[in-house]
Amino acid sequence: MKKENELAIKVTKEIVVKFIEAGRLSVNSFKEVWNDIHQTVSHSIKEEKITDD
């Protein structure tokens, strides 16, 4: 797995855990929210990498 993918998964996990702890995420919406957050995080990482190069 690429470093960027691992980082995106770890960051997504942390965000989702915080949402669960804050009561802002339910089990019913977990899959949709995970996918949305993961796509956003992945896109941000890719943009940051392009900017740094």
Q: What is the pTM of this model?
A: 0.81
Residue with tokens 């998964």: 9
What letter represents residue 34's amino acid? W
Question: pLDDT (tens digit, 9 = 90+) per residue, 4-32?
Answer: 999 999 999 999 999 999 999 988 898 89
Q: Which DSSP category does 10 fall into?
A: H
Residue 42 CB partners (closer than 8 Å, separation 6+): 4, 5, 8
State the pLDDT at residue 1.
60
| The two structure tokens encoding residue 6 | 């691992």
